[in-house]
Protein backbone atom coordinates (compact mmCIF):
# COMPACT_ATOMS: atom_id res chain seq x y z
CA UNK A 1 0.00 0.00 0.00
CA UNK A 2 1.29 3.48 -0.79
CA UNK A 3 1.62 5.78 2.23
CA UNK A 4 -1.53 7.81 2.94
CA UNK A 5 -0.27 11.18 4.10
CA UNK A 6 -3.71 12.16 5.42
CA UNK A 7 -4.39 9.03 7.47
CA UNK A 8 -2.88 10.44 10.66
CA UNK A 9 -4.33 13.96 10.33
CA UNK A 10 -7.53 14.75 12.20
CA UNK A 11 -10.33 17.24 11.49
CA UNK A 12 -8.46 19.95 13.39
CA UNK A 13 -5.37 19.66 11.21
CA UNK A 14 -3.28 17.83 13.81
CA UNK A 15 -0.94 15.24 12.34
CA UNK A 16 -0.19 12.34 14.66
CA UNK A 17 3.42 11.47 13.96
CA UNK A 18 4.21 10.36 17.51
CA UNK A 19 3.18 6.87 18.61
CA UNK A 20 3.36 5.92 22.28
CA UNK A 21 3.22 2.17 22.82
CA UNK A 22 2.53 0.64 26.20
CA UNK A 23 4.36 -2.70 26.36
CA UNK A 24 2.94 -4.09 29.58
CA UNK A 25 0.22 -3.53 32.19
CA UNK A 26 2.38 -4.71 35.10
CA UNK A 27 4.75 -2.64 37.18
CA UNK A 28 7.40 -3.12 39.85
CA UNK A 29 6.19 0.00 41.69
CA UNK A 30 2.75 0.93 43.00
CA UNK A 31 2.70 4.74 42.67
CA UNK A 32 -0.50 5.63 44.45
CA UNK A 33 -1.53 8.32 41.90
CA UNK A 34 -1.19 5.79 39.09
CA UNK A 35 -2.01 2.30 40.36
CA UNK A 36 -5.37 2.01 42.18
CA UNK A 37 -5.08 0.72 45.76
CA UNK A 38 -6.86 -2.52 44.81
CA UNK A 39 -4.65 -3.05 41.76
CA UNK A 40 -6.10 -3.42 38.28
CA UNK A 41 -7.65 -6.35 36.44
CA UNK A 42 -4.86 -7.44 34.11
CA UNK A 43 -5.69 -8.45 30.56
CA UNK A 44 -5.28 -12.17 29.84
CA UNK A 45 -1.76 -12.84 28.53
CA UNK A 46 -3.16 -13.90 25.17
CA UNK A 47 -4.63 -10.41 24.73
CA UNK A 48 -1.30 -8.63 25.16
CA UNK A 49 0.56 -7.74 21.97
CA UNK A 50 3.51 -10.00 21.22
CA UNK A 51 6.85 -8.57 20.13
CA UNK A 52 6.04 -9.50 16.54
CA UNK A 53 2.61 -7.80 16.70
CA UNK A 54 4.11 -4.65 18.21
CA UNK A 55 6.59 -4.50 15.36
CA UNK A 56 4.01 -5.14 12.63
CA UNK A 57 1.55 -2.58 13.98
CA UNK A 58 4.26 0.03 14.55
CA UNK A 59 5.50 -0.57 11.01
CA UNK A 60 2.07 0.33 9.63
CA UNK A 61 2.05 3.59 11.58
CA UNK A 62 5.58 4.41 10.43
CA UNK A 63 4.61 3.65 6.82
CA UNK A 64 1.91 6.35 7.06
CA UNK A 65 4.06 9.00 8.73
CA UNK A 66 4.91 8.22 12.36
CA UNK A 67 8.52 9.24 12.96
CA UNK A 68 8.73 9.08 16.72
CA UNK A 69 7.98 6.11 19.00
CA UNK A 70 7.99 6.04 22.78
CA UNK A 71 7.79 2.82 24.79
CA UNK A 72 6.01 2.99 28.11
CA UNK A 73 3.85 0.83 30.39
CA UNK A 74 3.31 -0.26 33.25
CA UNK A 75 7.04 -0.59 33.45
CA UNK A 76 8.33 -1.26 29.92
CA UNK A 77 11.67 -2.66 31.10
CA UNK A 78 9.83 -5.44 32.97
CA UNK A 79 9.01 -7.14 29.65
CA UNK A 80 11.30 -10.14 29.32
CA UNK A 81 11.41 -9.64 25.56
CA UNK A 82 12.24 -5.92 25.83
CA UNK A 83 15.60 -6.41 24.04
CA UNK A 84 13.84 -8.15 21.14
CA UNK A 85 11.12 -5.48 20.94
CA UNK A 86 13.52 -2.55 20.88
CA UNK A 87 15.89 -4.23 18.47
CA UNK A 88 13.06 -4.85 16.00
CA UNK A 89 11.56 -1.38 16.36
CA UNK A 90 14.97 0.20 15.84
CA UNK A 91 14.98 -1.18 12.29
CA UNK A 92 12.02 1.11 11.46
CA UNK A 93 14.35 4.11 11.50
CA UNK A 94 12.29 6.38 13.76
CA UNK A 95 13.44 8.10 16.92
CA UNK A 96 12.78 5.71 19.83
CA UNK A 97 12.58 6.74 23.46
CA UNK A 98 11.30 5.20 26.67
CA UNK A 99 9.51 6.29 29.80
CA UNK A 100 10.61 4.25 32.80
CA UNK A 101 10.70 4.26 36.57
CA UNK A 102 14.44 3.60 36.22
CA UNK A 103 14.72 0.49 38.38
CA UNK A 104 15.92 -1.83 35.60
CA UNK A 105 17.97 0.66 33.59
CA UNK A 106 21.35 -0.85 34.50
CA UNK A 107 20.27 -4.24 33.12
CA UNK A 108 19.23 -2.71 29.81
CA UNK A 109 21.86 -0.05 29.31
CA UNK A 110 23.74 -1.89 26.59
CA UNK A 111 20.65 -2.78 24.55
CA UNK A 112 19.47 0.83 24.74
CA UNK A 113 22.83 2.09 23.51
CA UNK A 114 23.07 -0.57 20.81
CA UNK A 115 19.71 0.56 19.43
CA UNK A 116 20.56 4.26 19.54
CA UNK A 117 18.04 5.19 22.21
CA UNK A 118 19.30 8.52 23.49
CA UNK A 119 16.26 10.04 25.21
CA UNK A 120 14.91 8.62 28.46
CA UNK A 121 12.11 9.95 30.64
CA UNK A 122 12.61 8.74 34.18
CA UNK A 123 9.89 9.14 36.80
CA UNK A 124 10.98 10.29 40.23
CA UNK A 125 8.56 12.18 42.45
CA UNK A 126 10.74 12.90 45.46
CA UNK A 127 14.37 13.28 46.48
CA UNK A 128 13.69 11.82 49.93
CA UNK A 129 13.99 8.04 50.32
CA UNK A 130 11.23 7.64 52.92
CA UNK A 131 8.80 9.65 50.77
CA UNK A 132 9.73 7.56 47.73
CA UNK A 133 8.82 4.42 49.69
CA UNK A 134 5.53 6.02 50.73
CA UNK A 135 4.42 7.07 47.23
CA UNK A 136 5.64 3.98 45.33
CA UNK A 137 4.95 1.46 48.12
CA UNK A 138 8.33 -0.07 47.31
CA UNK A 139 11.86 0.46 48.61
CA UNK A 140 13.85 1.20 45.45
CA UNK A 141 14.98 4.80 45.90
CA UNK A 142 18.75 4.31 45.82
CA UNK A 143 18.61 2.04 42.77
CA UNK A 144 16.65 4.69 40.84
CA UNK A 145 19.04 7.47 41.87
CA UNK A 146 22.05 5.34 40.89
CA UNK A 147 20.49 4.58 37.51
CA UNK A 148 19.68 8.25 36.92
CA UNK A 149 23.40 9.04 37.36
CA UNK A 150 24.34 6.02 35.23
CA UNK A 151 22.23 7.41 32.37
CA UNK A 152 23.81 10.86 32.65
CA UNK A 153 27.27 9.36 32.86
CA UNK A 154 26.57 7.47 29.64
CA UNK A 155 25.44 10.58 27.80
CA UNK A 156 21.67 9.96 27.66
CA UNK A 157 19.35 12.97 27.54
CA UNK A 158 17.27 12.52 30.67
CA UNK A 159 13.97 14.15 31.56
CA UNK A 160 12.74 13.54 35.08
CA UNK A 161 8.95 13.33 35.44
CA UNK A 162 7.66 14.62 38.77
CA UNK A 163 3.93 14.31 39.46
CA UNK A 164 3.18 17.00 42.01
CA UNK A 165 0.76 16.29 44.83
CA UNK A 166 -0.10 19.00 47.29
CA UNK A 167 1.26 18.39 50.77
CA UNK A 168 3.43 15.54 49.53
CA UNK A 169 6.15 16.89 47.26
CA UNK A 170 5.27 20.51 46.45
CA UNK A 171 7.88 21.50 49.04
CA UNK A 172 10.55 19.87 46.84
CA UNK A 173 9.95 21.94 43.69
CA UNK A 174 12.96 24.18 44.31
CA UNK A 175 15.13 21.21 45.35
CA UNK A 176 14.36 19.57 42.01
CA UNK A 177 15.19 22.79 40.12
CA UNK A 178 18.43 23.09 42.09
CA UNK A 179 19.43 19.65 40.79
CA UNK A 180 19.65 21.26 37.36
CA UNK A 181 22.36 23.65 38.52
CA UNK A 182 25.08 21.08 37.87
CA UNK A 183 23.26 18.22 36.15
CA UNK A 184 22.09 18.51 32.52
CA UNK A 185 18.62 17.25 33.40
CA UNK A 186 15.23 18.47 32.34
CA UNK A 187 12.82 18.30 35.28
CA UNK A 188 9.15 18.20 34.25
CA UNK A 189 6.56 19.00 36.87
CA UNK A 190 3.30 17.28 35.96
CA UNK A 191 -0.12 18.37 37.15
CA UNK A 192 -1.81 15.41 38.84
CA UNK A 193 -4.47 13.99 36.48
CA UNK A 194 -7.65 12.01 37.22
CA UNK A 195 -7.98 8.36 36.19
CA UNK A 196 -10.10 5.46 37.39
CA UNK A 197 -9.32 4.60 41.00
CA UNK A 198 -6.59 7.21 41.68
CA UNK A 199 -8.68 9.34 44.04
CA UNK A 200 -7.96 12.53 42.15
CA UNK A 201 -9.20 15.67 43.72
CA UNK A 202 -8.67 19.22 42.52
CA UNK A 203 -7.33 20.16 45.95
CA UNK A 204 -4.46 17.64 45.63
CA UNK A 205 -3.26 19.17 42.38
CA UNK A 206 -0.46 21.75 42.20
CA UNK A 207 -1.18 24.07 39.29
CA UNK A 208 1.15 25.63 36.75
CA UNK A 209 0.50 29.04 38.33
CA UNK A 210 1.35 27.82 41.82
CA UNK A 211 4.63 26.33 40.54
CA UNK A 212 5.56 29.54 38.74
CA UNK A 213 4.70 31.68 41.77
CA UNK A 214 7.02 29.58 43.87
CA UNK A 215 9.81 29.76 41.28
CA UNK A 216 9.51 33.52 41.15
CA UNK A 217 9.86 33.84 44.91
CA UNK A 218 12.92 31.55 44.98
CA UNK A 219 14.86 33.07 42.06
CA UNK A 220 15.32 36.67 40.88
CA UNK A 221 12.93 37.28 37.93
CA UNK A 222 15.83 38.07 35.59
CA UNK A 223 17.32 34.63 36.24
CA UNK A 224 14.20 32.69 35.19
CA UNK A 225 14.48 32.30 31.42
CA UNK A 226 11.55 31.08 29.32
CA UNK A 227 12.73 28.61 26.68
CA UNK A 228 11.13 28.32 23.25
CA UNK A 229 8.45 25.60 23.20
CA UNK A 230 8.45 22.95 20.53
CA UNK A 231 5.43 23.13 18.18
CA UNK A 232 4.04 19.88 19.64
CA UNK A 233 5.03 20.71 23.21
CA UNK A 234 3.53 19.17 26.31
CA UNK A 235 5.91 20.93 28.65
CA UNK A 236 6.36 24.70 28.90
CA UNK A 237 10.07 24.96 29.59
CA UNK A 238 12.24 27.32 31.64
CA UNK A 239 15.83 27.52 32.73
CA UNK A 240 17.60 29.23 35.59
CA UNK A 241 20.35 31.41 34.20
CA UNK A 242 23.69 29.59 33.96
CA UNK A 243 22.24 26.29 35.20
CA UNK A 244 23.25 23.15 33.30
CA UNK A 245 19.71 21.82 32.97
CA UNK A 246 16.18 23.13 32.66
CA UNK A 247 12.69 22.56 34.00
CA UNK A 248 9.21 22.54 32.58
CA UNK A 249 5.55 22.28 33.54
CA UNK A 250 3.07 19.86 32.02
CA UNK A 251 -0.24 21.53 32.77
CA UNK A 252 -2.83 19.21 31.23
CA UNK A 253 -5.44 20.36 33.73
CA UNK A 254 -5.07 24.12 34.07
CA UNK A 255 -3.48 25.02 30.73
CA UNK A 256 -3.91 22.23 28.16
CA UNK A 257 -1.85 22.00 24.98
CA UNK A 258 -4.28 20.06 22.79
CA UNK A 259 -3.92 22.38 19.75
CA UNK A 260 -0.48 20.98 18.98
CA UNK A 261 -1.16 17.38 19.99
CA UNK A 262 0.64 14.91 17.72
CA UNK A 263 0.33 11.89 20.03
CA UNK A 264 -1.54 8.66 19.50
CA UNK A 265 -1.43 5.87 22.07
CA UNK A 266 -1.50 2.11 21.77
CA UNK A 267 -2.23 0.13 24.94
CA UNK A 268 -0.48 -3.15 25.73
CA UNK A 269 -3.62 -5.02 24.70
CA UNK A 270 -3.67 -3.32 21.34
CA UNK A 271 -6.30 -0.61 21.75
CA UNK A 272 -5.80 2.84 20.28
CA UNK A 273 -6.46 5.72 22.64
CA UNK A 274 -6.66 8.95 20.72
CA UNK A 275 -6.48 11.05 23.89
CA UNK A 276 -5.20 10.42 27.39
CA UNK A 277 -8.48 11.77 28.78
CA UNK A 278 -10.77 9.70 26.58
CA UNK A 279 -12.71 6.66 27.83
CA UNK A 280 -13.06 5.56 24.25
CA UNK A 281 -10.75 2.94 22.73
CA UNK A 282 -10.44 1.46 19.24
CA UNK A 283 -9.43 -2.18 18.98
CA UNK A 284 -6.49 -2.47 16.61
CA UNK A 285 -5.08 -5.81 17.77
CA UNK A 286 -8.25 -7.75 17.00
CA UNK A 287 -8.26 -6.20 13.53
CA UNK A 288 -4.62 -7.18 13.07
CA UNK A 289 -5.23 -10.75 14.23
CA UNK A 290 -8.19 -11.18 11.92
CA UNK A 291 -6.25 -9.86 8.94
CA UNK A 292 -8.28 -6.66 8.48
CA UNK A 293 -6.70 -3.52 7.05
CA UNK A 294 -5.33 -1.54 10.00
CA UNK A 295 -5.73 1.72 8.12
CA UNK A 296 -9.54 1.68 8.46
CA UNK A 297 -9.32 1.23 12.23
CA UNK A 298 -6.59 3.87 12.58
CA UNK A 299 -8.64 6.34 10.52
CA UNK A 300 -11.65 5.86 12.83
CA UNK A 301 -9.52 6.55 15.91
CA UNK A 302 -7.97 9.67 14.41
CA UNK A 303 -11.22 11.08 13.06
CA UNK A 304 -13.04 10.71 16.39
CA UNK A 305 -10.40 12.63 18.34
CA UNK A 306 -11.93 15.69 19.99
CA UNK A 307 -10.45 19.16 19.97
CA UNK A 308 -9.68 19.44 23.67
CA UNK A 309 -9.21 16.71 26.36
CA UNK A 310 -11.79 14.29 24.97
CA UNK A 311 -14.45 16.99 25.18
CA UNK A 312 -13.66 18.16 28.73
CA UNK A 313 -13.08 21.77 27.86
CA UNK A 314 -13.32 23.24 31.34
CA UNK A 315 -11.86 22.41 34.70
CA UNK A 316 -15.42 22.00 36.03
CA UNK A 317 -15.90 19.07 33.71
CA UNK A 318 -12.65 17.54 34.95
CA UNK A 319 -13.96 17.96 38.49
CA UNK A 320 -16.95 15.78 37.57
CA UNK A 321 -15.94 12.18 38.45
CA UNK A 322 -18.60 10.82 36.10
CA UNK A 323 -16.56 12.09 33.16
CA UNK A 324 -13.33 10.26 33.97
CA UNK A 325 -14.12 7.36 36.30
CA UNK A 326 -14.39 5.01 33.33
CA UNK A 327 -11.05 6.01 31.88
CA UNK A 328 -8.47 3.28 32.45
CA UNK A 329 -5.91 3.76 35.18
CA UNK A 330 -2.74 5.44 33.99
CA UNK A 331 -0.79 2.25 34.62
CA UNK A 332 -2.64 0.55 31.79
CA UNK A 333 -2.56 3.53 29.40
CA UNK A 334 1.09 4.40 29.66
CA UNK A 335 1.16 8.16 30.20
N1 LIG B 1 6.45 3.03 34.68
C2 LIG B 1 6.93 4.07 33.85
C3 LIG B 1 7.17 5.34 34.63
O4 LIG B 1 6.72 5.42 35.75
O5 LIG B 1 7.79 6.23 34.07
C6 LIG B 1 6.06 4.35 32.63
C7 LIG B 1 4.58 4.39 32.82
S8 LIG B 1 3.94 5.72 33.80
C9 LIG B 1 2.20 5.42 33.69
C10 LIG B 1 4.18 7.11 32.71
C11 LIG B 1 4.12 8.46 33.38
O12 LIG B 1 2.79 8.72 33.80
C13 LIG B 1 4.99 8.60 34.62
O14 LIG B 1 5.86 9.70 34.49
C15 LIG B 1 4.00 8.86 35.71
O16 LIG B 1 4.51 9.68 36.72
C17 LIG B 1 2.85 9.49 34.97
N18 LIG B 1 1.57 9.40 35.68
C19 LIG B 1 1.00 8.30 36.21
N20 LIG B 1 -0.19 8.61 36.79
C21 LIG B 1 -0.36 9.94 36.64
C22 LIG B 1 -1.37 10.86 37.04
N23 LIG B 1 -2.45 10.47 37.69
N24 LIG B 1 -1.23 12.15 36.70
C25 LIG B 1 -0.13 12.58 36.02
N26 LIG B 1 0.86 11.76 35.61
C27 LIG B 1 0.76 10.45 35.93
FE1 LIG C 1 4.48 1.95 37.78
FE2 LIG C 1 5.10 4.11 36.40
FE3 LIG C 1 2.62 3.84 37.37
FE4 LIG C 1 4.63 4.22 39.05
S5 LIG C 1 3.90 5.66 37.46
S6 LIG C 1 3.01 2.65 39.25
S7 LIG C 1 6.29 3.22 38.07
S8 LIG C 1 3.54 2.61 35.82
Note the pLDDT of residue 326: 65
Give all domains of the chain, ordered by start, each with its CATH number.
18-329 (3.20.20.70)
Share of the chain above pLDDT 70, in %: 96
Residue nearest to atom 17 of ligand 1 (CA): 335
CA distance 251 to 191: 5
Note the pLDDT of residue 329: 67
3-state helix, strand, coil in the chain (%, to 5): 35, 20, 45
Strands 271-273 and 263-266, by their bridges, are antiparallel
Note the pLDDT of residue 180: 98
CA distance 119 to 81: 20
CA distance 215 to 219: 6
Are 197 and 37 in contact, with CB atoms under 8 Å apart? yes
For the stretch 48-92, pLDDT in tens is 999 999 999 999 999 999 999 999 999 999 999 999 999 999 999
Kindly state the average pLDDT of the residues 213-238: 96
Is the torsion defined by CA of 109, 276, 264, 279 positive or negative? positive
Specify the ligand 1 atom closest to the Cα of 33: 23
Could you give the C-alpha distances from 279 to 251, 257, 294, in angstroms and in order? 20, 19, 21
Look at residues 120, 111, 183, 176 and name the one whose alpha carbon lies nearest to residue 149: 183
**Ligand nearest to the CA of residue 122, numbered in listed order:** 1
Note the pLDDT of residue 173: 98
> Which range scores top for mean pLDDT: 172-181, 187-196, 257-266?
172-181
Contacts with 213 (C-beta within 8 Å, 6 or more apart), sequence order: none
Quote the ligand 2 centre to 33 CA distance (angstroms).
Answer: 9
* Residue 328 reports pLDDT greater than 70: no
Kindly state the average pLDDT of the residues 194-221: 92
Quote the ligand 1 centre to 162 CA distance (angstroms).
Answer: 9
* Residue 316 reports pLDDT greater than 90: no
Task: Give the residue with greater pLDDT, 323 vs 199.
Answer: 199
Kindly state the average pLDDT of the residues 229-246: 95
**Ligand nearest to the CA of residue 26, numbered in listed order:** 2
74 lines ligand 2 (CB under 6 A): yes
CA distance 321 to 9: 30
* Residue 38 reports pLDDT greater than 90: no
- Residue 219 DSSP code: S
Specify the ligand 1 atom closest to the Cα of 29: 1
* Residue 105 reports pLDDT greater than 80: yes
Kindly state the average pLDDT of the residues 103-127: 98
CB-based pocket (< 6 A), ligand 1: 27, 33-34, 72-73, 75, 99-101, 123, 161, 163, 190, 192-193, 195, 198, 330-331, 334-335
Mean pLDDT in the chain? 93
Note the pLDDT of residue 324: 61
For the stretch 144-186, pLDDT in tens is 999 999 999 999 999 999 999 999 999 999 999 999 999 999 9
Give the residue, out of 34, 164, 248, 321, with the most ligand 1 atoms within 8 A of its beta carbon, to mutate for a pocket test. 34
Note the pLDDT of residue 325: 63
Are 57 and 108 in contact, with CB atoms under 8 Å apart? no
Amino acid sequence: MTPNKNLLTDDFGRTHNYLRISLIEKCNLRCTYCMPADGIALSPKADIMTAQEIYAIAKTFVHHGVNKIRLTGGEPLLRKDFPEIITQLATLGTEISITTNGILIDRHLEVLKANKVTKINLSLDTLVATKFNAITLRNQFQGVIDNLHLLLHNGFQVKVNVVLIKGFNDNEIIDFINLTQHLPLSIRFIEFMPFAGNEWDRSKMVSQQEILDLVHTAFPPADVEKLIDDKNFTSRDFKIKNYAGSFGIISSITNPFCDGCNRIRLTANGKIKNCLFSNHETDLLTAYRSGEALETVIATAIQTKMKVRAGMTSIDEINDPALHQDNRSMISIGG
